[in-house]
Amino acid sequence: MMILNRIKSTSGSKQRWKSVNIRFIRFIRVPNKGRKADLPAKQDKVFSGHNSKTNNTFAMQNTSKTILQALFSVALLLLLTACNKNKSTYDASGAFEADEIIVSAEQTGKILNLEVEEGQTLKAEQVVGQIDVNALNVQKEQTIASVNAITQKTNDAAPQISILQSQIKTQKAQIRVLTQQMEVLDVEINRVSNLLKAEAATPKQLDDLKGQKSVLDKQIAVAQDQIEVLNEQIAAARANVSLQNRSILSEVTPMQKRVSILDEQISRGVIKNMFPGTVLGKYASAGEFTSMGKALYKIADLSTITLRVYITGNQLPLIKLNQQVKVFTDDGKGGMQESTGTITWINSKAEFTPKTIQTKDERANLVYAIKVKVPNAAGTYKIGMYGEIKFQ
């Protein structure tokens, strides 16, 4: 009689069968006919008496052997059939994953509102919440007030320059009057000169007119010199005020930069979603206190999902980047759903086979990870779902 012990070893969805010790029950052998001649003559009758019984024993042994051989053949056939059924017809297998992005707070404060829920689809640049930044607004107002106070401490040369400019206008007006008087004197000098030629005027009259003209020339020259002096006084006043205000205005520029920094910090209080995708997890709620860098929610773009599978070194020559492959997943009805994916990444380093991954060569200890991009506009594939590929 033969006893078979079966051990079930699971790796992925396959079953391995091992055979362990096979023990046979030893049968006591009965002396054969060849040794009958060596017995004493007086025992011949005994053996002849038991001859029929011995034949029956041999017949039973032959029947048992035949039955055992048949049972062993059936068991071996069933074992081979099970192995053939469990043999994978796919080239590699793995699980779906996505590029997950953790959105963190960019400011410290109380979360006033956070309009994010798991499973919600968000757009890029969409505002989803606000962090309290009232303290920063107060600091900004204080800084602006300080800038205004510093500005009020500066000296203004405008009043002094305005007085000097009015004096320049007066001098210019006086020059215009003197110029008109000069024109009148020129006409009078010409007339007297003609009268003098006709002996109708005296030389003294002509000399008096020329003396008046000389006085007007000097007055015009003095007025022009006065205008130049006034212009120099205006330039000096501006230079003096600028020198006096330089130390004061040097404090304004840092304060203005401080206002710009506060504006940037206040803008970071707005929680804005920068990437389109689906919310996978929410880590904070309205009313909670958050700090800079603390995670608020996790998002991933599931319109295109990645299937990470593992292949053996013998399969590396069969693939290349941008190669199209067939992707198979369970359709939930006992069948397989087929789609097409593209190989976008091949790991250049081998790694030990993950425990949850099934490879085509079960004896392979080192495998290479590859990524296959699969369109997922309908949302059929989920993160963590098991999938298999077949090279085209």
Cβ–Cβ under 8 Å, residues 380 and 316: no
pLDDT of 11 strictly over 80: no
Quote the distance between the C-alpha of residue 35 and its chain's center. 92
Can you read off the two tokens belonging to residue 190?
């010409």
Which residue did the predictor score with more confidence, 87 or 63?
Answer: 63
Question: How far lies 327's CA from each of 194, 353, 361, 381, in Å?
Answer: 122, 21, 19, 11
The pLDDT assigned to 29 comes to 42
Q: Quick one: pLDDT band at residue 364, thresholds 50, 70, 90?
A: low
Does this model's pTM top 0.85? no
Q: pLDDT class for 50, splitting at 50, 70, 90?
A: very low
Q: Over 80: is that where the pLDDT of 378 sits?
A: yes
pLDDT of 175 over the 50 cut: yes
Q: Which comes out higher in pLDDT, residue 204 or 15? A: 204
Counting Cα atoms < 13 Å in the Cβ hemisphere of 305 gives 23
Tokens of 391: 């090279």
What integer is the mean pLDDT of 167-187? 91
Query: Residue 74's pLDDT band (boundaries 50, 70, 90)?
Result: low
Residues constituting the chain = 392
User: What local confidence, expressed as pLDDT, does residue 82 receive?
Assistant: 47
- Is residue 139's pLDDT more than 70? yes
Burial of residue 96, with CB atoms counted within 10 A of its CB: 0-12 exposed, 13-18 middle, 19 or more buried: buried
Give me the pLDDT at residue 340, please. 94
Please give the share of the chain, as a percent, with pLDDT higher than 70. Answer: 75
Q: Is the pLDDT of residue 278 over 80?
A: yes
Whether pLDDT at 89 is above 70:
yes
**In what helix (H) or strand (E) does residue 103 lie, and over which residues does it extend?**
strand 100-104
DSSP 8-state class, residue 191? H
275 CB-near residues (< 8 Å, 6+ apart): 101, 124, 299, 301
- Answer whether residue 47 shows pLDDT above 70: no
| Cβ count within 10 A of residue 306 | 20
Token readout for 265 is: 């910090």
Q: Does pLDDT of 337 surpass 60?
A: yes
Q: Residue 278 contacts by C-beta under 8 Å, 6 or more apart in sequence?
A: 119, 120, 121, 122, 299, 300, 301, 302
pLDDT of residue 43: 43
Confidence of residue 357 (pLDDT cuts 50, 70, 90): low
- Percentage of the residues of the chain whose pLDDT score is greater than 90: 47
Q: In the predicted model, what is the mean pLDDT of the chain?
A: 80
Separation of alpha carbons 114 and 279, rounded Å: 13
pLDDT confidence of residue 222: 92
Q: Could you give the 3-state DSSP secondary structure of residue 290?
A: strand
**Do the beta carbons of residue 352 and residue 382 sit within 8 Å?**
no
Kindly indicate the confidence band of residue 363, based on its pLDDT and cuts at 50, 70 and 90.
low
**What mean pLDDT is predicted for residues 313-326?**
92
Q: Are 20 and 7 in contact (CB under 8 A)?
A: yes
Residue 305 pLDDT: 95
Query: What is the tens place of the pLDDT at every residue in 237-262?
Result: 888 888 888 878 888 889 999 999 99
The tokens for 326 are 């067939």
